[in-house]
Amino acid sequence: MSETARTYADQITSPAVYAQPDELHKAFAALRANDPLAWLEPEGFRPFWAATKHQDIMEISRQNKLFTNGEREILSPVATEEQVYAIMGGPHLVRTLVQMDDPDHFKFRHLTQQWFLPQNVRQRSEAVKAIAREFVDKMEDMGGECDFVNDIALYYPLRVIMQILGVPKEDEPLMLKLTQELFGAADEDYSRDADALGQKDVAAGLAAMQSVVGDFFAYFTDITKDRRANPKDDVASVIANGQIDGEPIGEFEAMSYYVIVAAAGHDTTSASTAGGVLAMLEARDQLDKFMADPQGLSRTTVDEAIRWTTPVKHFMRTAQDDYELRGNTIRKGESIMLCYSSGNRDEEVFDDPFSFKVDRSPNKLISFGYGGHMCLGMHLARLEMMTLYEELFSRVKSIELAGEPKHIKTTFVGGPKSVPIRYKF
Ligand code: HEM
């Protein structure tokens, strides 16, 4: 390990550091400057390369045969990895698109891809607008103060994706709770077993995670039965009745598919929706600029919010052959962490990367990844955020922070946990 890698290895793998964006960005800036493709050996983890430059993240992501997902798709402590292997006989608790490689990945992605193409997403714009209006009305009804995360940002994308998936409104709180337990497992406010987290009890922590996945699976077993008997115009019906190579989709894969759409479909978008509002409240000139022309600036503002927040902090790939990059040899079998948060602050790609600019253009954000696994829901996420921002900022007269914002402790998916605001309509 280089001196820089030794200094920052523990930070890059610590959920608590991700809850302090300034600390995190200091670590990534040092890595980009001194050891941009760093070999890290953090205590408690299998070693890996950290790719912190935008260009390297793209170069690795676009080569899906050479750099695969199947073995190690996200960072987990070695003790957790060993337990998962012991229980599942393989490296994963679920088998979703992000754990798959071709040929399976292509076939499974193809099943639902149609639903998320721009032309089909656009057809939902009126339905999305109605939901956005409902949530801005709710803010207005709340009388001038709310927690933008816990009252608005968490529930709005949830409603949109659950409508598309076909989950009834009354089950949204359950979906939200399960998703928070899944992605917030390293944060004591969300973990299903906070005692296990505090005591670093790996077996109990994993058991908690398994029970979360079990609850998701139990819920979607009923949905599958229903949609096989009565198919509807929703994504659940596509999954339940999906065929791979002429055979019905496997139960484990079907359950996993619902989980990725349900979970990836809202926490990410909530995080960037809230993160963008927080960024503007902290850069008043940008807020004023946006409020003067919300329709004209919504596209660039939304992309900037997604760059700024980077709700998915990383994914990993494993090399299937030796590969030369930046004067290093990545050996066959070694894994690479794609540090999206760092790529999104890369000084070589973004002009003034540490400033939030509502009119940033071009904006080569890497938040949705790249290559064959590039985010399936990115057009939907953009539509949702633009719609809410246009509705909110064309109606609200003034808006300001009313307390200390807090962030989620996670190395995987997250953003603001609380953004207290005061406003007038
Ligand atoms: C994959 C980010 C919203 C569904 C991904 C990946 C990232 C990401 C980084 C992995 C890309 C890669 O490996 O190259 C985000 C962000 C979002 C967002 C930042 C919001 C701002 C959504 C939404 C959905 C969704 C609304 C709804 C369906 C998925 C799925 C995958 C994925 C299914 C797996 C794709 C695959 O492996 O082929 N997303 N996402 N995401 N995302 Fe999103």
**Residue ranges making up the domain that contains 85:** 3-397
Q: How far is the CA of 109 from the centre of ligand 1 (A)?
A: 12
Average confidence (pLDDT) over 192-201: 77
Q: How far is the CA of 194 from the centre of ligand 1 (A)?
A: 27
**Hey, which bits of 79-127 come out as E strands?**
none
What is the residue with the minimal CA distance to atom 7 of ligand 1? 368
Percentage of the chain surpassing pLDDT 90? 84
Domain count across the chain: 1
Q: For residues 254 and 35, give the distance between their C-alpha atoms in angstroms, rounded to a whole number.
A: 41
Residue 412 counted as domain residue: no
For the CA of 109, the closest atom of ligand 1 is 38
What is the residue with the minimal CA distance to atom 36 of ligand 1? 373
Average confidence (pLDDT) over 62-77: 96
pTM reported for the whole predicted model: 0.96
Residue 335, φ and ψ in degrees, nearest 5: -110, 160
For the CA of 266, the closest atom of ligand 1 is 26
Using CA atoms, how far residue 129 sits from 84, 152, 281, 389, 404, in Å, is 42, 15, 24, 11, 30
Residue 36 counted as domain residue: yes
Q: How confident is the model at residue 247, as a pLDDT?
A: 94
Residue 46 counted as domain residue: yes
Q: How confident is the model at residue 200, as a pLDDT?
A: 78
Residue 404 counted as domain residue: no
Closest to 179 measured CA to CA, from 377, 419, 420, 410: 410
Q: How far is CA 363 from the centre of its chain?
A: 19
**Hey, which bits of 280-372 come out as E strands?**
314-319, 323-325, 328-330, 335-339
Residue 201 counted as domain residue: yes
The one-letter amino acid code at 66 reads L
In tens, the pLDDT along 259-269 reads: 899 888 889 99
Q: How far is the CA of 327 from the centre of ligand 1 (A)?
A: 31
User: DSSP string of 215-247?
Assistant: HHHHHHHHHHHHHHHS--SSHHHHHHT-EETTE
Which segments of 123-187 does DSSP mark as H helices, in order?
125-141, 156-165, 172-183
For the CA of 116, the closest atom of ligand 1 is 28
Residue 132 counted as domain residue: yes
Q: How confident is the model at residue 152, as a pLDDT?
A: 97
For the CA of 371, the closest atom of ligand 1 is 14
Q: How confident is the model at residue 245, as a pLDDT?
A: 94
Residues with CB under 6 A from ligand 1: 61, 97-98, 109, 116, 161, 260-261, 264-265, 268-269, 272, 306, 311-312, 315, 367-371, 373-377, 380-381
Residue 408 counted as domain residue: no
In tens, the pLDDT along 152-173 reads: 999 999 999 999 999 999 999 9
Q: How far is the CA of 394 from the centre of ligand 1 (A)?
A: 29
- Going by the DSSP 8-state scheme, the letter that residue 368 receives in this structure is T
Q: How confident is the model at residue 203, as a pLDDT?
A: 82
Q: For residues 328 and 56, give the distance between their C-alpha atoms in angstroms, rounded to a whole number.
A: 12
The one-letter amino acid code at 338 reads L
Residue 422 counted as domain residue: no
The one-letter amino acid code at 235 reads V
In tens, the pLDDT along 230-264 reads: 999 999 999 999 999 999 999 889 999 998 998 88
Average confidence (pLDDT) over 186-191: 81
Ligand 1: residue of 99, 318, 368 to mutate (most ligand atoms within 8 A of CB) is 368
Whether 255 and 221 have beta carbons less than 8 Å apart is answered as yes
Percentage of the chain surpassing pLDDT 70? 100
Q: Write down the residue that tokens 């953009």 correspond to.
A: 382
In tens, the pLDDT along 88-122 reads: 888 888 899 999 999 999 999 999 999 999 999 99
ipTM: 0.99
Which CATH number fits the domain that encloses residue 341? 1.10.630.10
Residue 297, φ and ψ in degrees, nearest 5: -105, 5
Q: How far is the CA of 347 from the centre of ligand 1 (A)?
A: 25
Q: How far is the CA of 6 from the centre of ligand 1 (A)?
A: 31
* Tokens matching residue 57: 């993240």
pLDDT band at 181 (very low <50, low <70, confident <90, very high): confident
Q: What does the angle CA 316 – CA 42 – CA 85 come to, to the nearest 5 degrees?
A: 55
Q: How confident is the model at residue 87, as a pLDDT?
A: 83
Q: How confident is the model at residue 185, as a pLDDT?
A: 74
Q: How far is the CA of 48 from the centre of ligand 1 (A)?
A: 23
Region at 129 (left for phi over 0; alpha for psi -120 to 50; beta for the rest) = alpha
